[in-house]
Amino acid sequence: MKIVSRLLSLADRLSEPQTIHAHCDLPCGVYDPAQARIEAESVKGCMEKFNASDDNVFKTRAVLIKEERAELVKHHLWVLWTDYFKPPHLETYPQLHELFWNATKTAGEAKKTNDTAVADNLLAQIAEIDKIFWETKK
């Protein structure tokens, strides 16, 4: 068994190296704006529940969960921006940088308010990112 593995190892060293090209570090199927959208929907849901409640303990919990979810929105957006989208995407969609900038800023704003209009704006920005994302997957 050791002789076979040594021969294979020697053959690997003597063979011509192959160049492999890949769009990303893992199969593209691991990326999806749906993760950011789901968290943004949770942000909006927490805002709605906060606004509908008179229970201060419940409201405190809603704020804590909303802030965690908003931070996860930012995380998922930055993973898409830094790991999935590449310079050729930016050439085709020059608005991407500003779109991601605004969406992550809006997610940060959502941490500071219980105004569902902010959450609606965030969801609209994520929907725009989602549309571009799926266009790049064609």
- C-alpha distances out from residue 92 to 23, 84, 96, 97, 137, Å: 16, 14, 9, 12, 13
For residue 47, give the nearest of 19, 22, 67 by alpha carbon: 67
**Predicted pLDDT of residue 138:** 82
Superfamily of domain 32-136: Nickel-containing superoxide dismutase (1.20.120.400)
Reported pTM:
0.80
pLDDT of residue 134: 95
The C-alpha angle 49, 33, 89, rounded to 5 degrees, equals: 145
Domain ranges of the chain: 32-136
Q: Chunk the chain into consecutive blocks of 10 residues (it has 138) and report each block's average pLDDT, rounded to whole numbers.
A: 58 62 56 96 98 98 98 97 93 97 98 98 98 93
DSSP 112: T
Q: 22: which residues sit within 8 A by CB, 6+ positions away? A: none
